[in-house]
Chain A
Amino acid sequence: MEALNAFSVSLQAVWNDSGFSAFTAGNGIMILVGLVLLYMAFVKEFEPLLLGPIAFGCILANFPNTGFFGEEMNVMKAINFGITNEIFPPLIFLGIGAMTDFSPLLARPSTLLLGAAAQVGVFVALGGAMLVGFNVHEAAAIGIIGGADGPTSIYLSTKLAPHLLGAIAVAAYSYMSLVPMIQPPIMKLMTTQAEREIVMKELRPVTKFERVVFPIVSTIFISLLLPPIAALLGCLMLGNLFRESGVTDRLSDTAQNSLINIVTIFLGTGTGMTMNAESFLRADTLLIIGLGLVAFMGGTAGGLIFGKIMCKLTGGEINPLIGSAGVSAVPMAARVSQLVGMKSKPGNYLLMHAMGPNVAGVIGTAVAAGTMLAMLK
Chain B
Amino acid sequence: MEHSPVTTNPLIIMMINMTVVFIVLIVLMYLIKLIHLVDPTKVKEEPAQAAEDEEPLVAVKSSASTSAPKPEPVDEGISPEIIAAISAAIAACGISGQVKAVHIVNHEGTAWRNSMRNAQCLMRNGRR
B113 at the interface (CB under 8 A from A): yes
A328 at the interface (CB under 8 A from B): no
Q: How large is the interface on A (under 10, 10 to 19, 20 to 34, 35 or more residues)?
A: 35 or more
A103 at the interface (CB under 8 A from B): yes
CB 8 Å contact bits of B30-67 with A (1 = contact, 0 = none): 11110110011110011001100100000000000000
A116 at the interface (CB under 8 A from B): yes
CB 8 Å contact bits of B1-44 with A (1 = contact, 0 = none): 01101101011011011101110111111111101100111100
Q: A209-B40, A213-B35, A351-B119 are in contact. Are A363 and B28 (CB under 8 A)?
A: yes
CB 8 Å contact bits of A100-129 with B (1 = contact, 0 = none): 010111100110110110011011101100
Q: Which of A127, A209, A221 contacts B11 (CB 8 A)?
A: A127
- Spell out B's residues near A (CB within 8 Å): 2-3, 5-6, 8, 10-11, 13-14, 16-18, 20-22, 24-33, 35-36, 39-42, 45-46, 49-50, 53, 109-113, 115-116, 119-120, 123
Give the residues from 194 to 229 in chain A that come closer than 8 angstroms, CB to CB, to chain B: 204-205, 207-211, 213-214, 217-218, 221-222, 225-226
- A119 — which chain B residues lie within 8 A by C-beta? 18, 21
Q: Which of B13, B14, B24 contacts A222 (CB 8 A)?
A: B24
Inter-subunit contact A101/B36 (CB<8 Å): no
Inter-subunit contact B35/A217 (CB<8 Å): yes
* Majority SS at the chain A contact face: helix
A60 at the interface (CB under 8 A from B): no
- Spell out A's residues near B (CB within 8 Å): 99, 101, 103-106, 109-110, 112-113, 115-116, 119-120, 122-124, 126-127, 130-131, 135-137, 139-140, 204-205, 207-211, 213-214, 217-218, 221-222, 225-226, 244, 331, 335, 338, 342, 349, 351-352, 355, 360, 363-364, 367-368, 371-372, 375-377
Inter-subunit contact A210/B6 (CB<8 Å): no
Q: Which of A122, A218, A244, A352 contacts B113 (CB 8 A)?
A: A352
CB distance from A239 to the nearest CB of B (A): 13
Q: A124-B14, A218-B31, A368-B17 are in contact. Are A103 and B110 (CB under 8 A)?
A: yes
Q: Which of A105, A139, A207 contacts B42 (CB 8 A)?
A: A207
Inter-subunit contact A115/B25 (CB<8 Å): yes
Kindly state the separation between the CA atoms of A367 and B25 in the bound complex, as whole angstroms: 9
* Majority SS at the chain B contact face: helix
- A355 — which chain B residues lie within 8 A by C-beta? 112
Which 9 pairs between the two chains have the least Cβ-Cβ distance? A205-B49, A127-B10, A123-B14, A109-B32, A130-B10, A116-B25, A109-B29, A112-B25, A351-B116
- A116 — which chain B residues lie within 8 A by C-beta? 21-22, 25-26
- A371 — which chain B residues lie within 8 A by C-beta? 16-17, 20-21
CB distance from A13 to the nearest CB of B (A): 45
- B14 — which chain A residues lie within 8 A by C-beta? 123-124, 126-127
Q: Which of A211, A367, A377 contacts B109 (CB 8 A)?
A: A211
Apart from A351-B112, A351-B116, 18 more pairs, CB < 8 Å: A103-B112, A109-B33, A113-B25, A116-B21, A120-B18, A123-B13, A126-B14, A137-B5, A207-B41, A207-B42, A208-B41, A352-B112, A355-B112, A360-B25, A371-B17, A371-B20, A371-B21, A375-B13
